[in-house]
């Protein structure tokens, strides 16, 4: 792995494929144990989580359902506040045990909105899995059940995560550098 340039910024190697695989194995092992004998619905938050979902779900030994949603952000006409809503959510979540698959939790705002919506839709139980978590940026108080790795508060790309639409295809994680 060598330093890369994406658009105008440089990124250095941070986490290789082997380490990502170990993190996913650890998360899947815990989920397999916690949900033994049950049939959870995995809810994948697109776009960034597509690689995490593909690799994590191959390690899940449970009978399960998988569904995908995308978050839409827009600026309201009355205020500058960003509103996020779940789109493409056609599953009936009422009474179901849901495990959210997320790529990264930063401030926690996105996940809080997802949790609110699932609660409104009558989900019985909601657990959260995320490959990366930035504790220094986190502003919320909800519990994160399955964390691949806690990382410092700097911008990363690769393995589904983009910088202005690029770099999602990289099999490893890169961290932004100054030069």
Nearer to ligand 5GP, 146 or 163 (CB): 163
Active site residue 145: no
Whether omega before 47 lies within 30 degrees of 0, making that bond cis, reads: yes
Instruction: Give the contact letters, 110-139, x = binds to ligand 5GP (CB under 6 A), - = no.
Output: xx----------------------------
Residue 177 in contact with ligand 5GP, rule: CB under 6 A: no
**Which residues between 7 and 46 bind ligand 5GP (CB under 6 A)?**
none
Tell me the site size for ligand 5GP, rule CB under 6 A: 16
Tell how far CA 54 is from the center of its chain: 12
Q: How far apart are CA 53 and CA 154, in angstroms?
A: 23
Nearer to ligand 5GP, 147 or 157 (CB): 157
Q: Which stretch binds ligand 5GP (CB under 6 A): 34-42, 53-61, 142-150, 160-168?
A: 160-168
Q: How far apart are CA 32 and CA 119, in angstroms?
A: 24
Binder among 11, 24, 43, 108 for ligand 5GP (CB under 6 A): 108
Order across the sheet with 4-6: list the strands. 4-6, 9-15, 173-176, 156-157
Residue 156's SS3 state is strand
Q: Are 174 and 15 in contact (CB under 8 A)?
A: no
Residue 142 in contact with ligand 5GP, rule: CB under 6 A: no
Q: How many DSSP H helices and E strands does the chain contain? A: 3, 10
Which entry of 8, 90, 106, 145 is annotated as an active-site residue? 106
Helix (H) or strand (E) holding 33: helix 17-34
Residue 160 in contact with ligand 5GP, rule: CB under 6 A: no
**Residues marked as catalytic:** 106
**Which residues lie near ligand 5GP (CB under 6 A)?**
48, 103-111, 155-157, 161-163
């Amino acid at each position: 792995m060598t330093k890369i340039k994406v658009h105008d910024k440089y990124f250095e190697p941070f986490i290789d494929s082997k380490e990502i695989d170990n993190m996913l194995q650890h998360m899947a092992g815990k989920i397999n144990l916690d949900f033994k004998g049950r049939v959870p619905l995995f809810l994948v938050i697109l776009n960034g989580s597509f690689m995490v979902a593909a690799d994590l779900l191959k390690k899940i030994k449970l009978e399960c359902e998988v569904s995908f949603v995308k978050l839409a952000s827009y600026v309201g006409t009355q205020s500058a506040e960003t509103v996020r809503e779940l789109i493409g959510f056609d599953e009936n979540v009422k009474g179901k045990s849901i495990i959210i698959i997320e790529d990264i939790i930063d401030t926690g705002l996105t996940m809080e909105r997802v949790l609110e919506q699932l609660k409104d839709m009558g989900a019985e139980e909601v657990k959260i899995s995320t490959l990366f978590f930035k504790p220094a940026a986190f502003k919320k108080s909800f519990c994160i059940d399955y964390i691949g790795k806690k990382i410092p508060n700097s911008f990363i790309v690769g393995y589904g995560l983009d910088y202005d639409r690029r770099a999602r295809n990289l099999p490893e994680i890169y961290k932004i550098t100054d030069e």
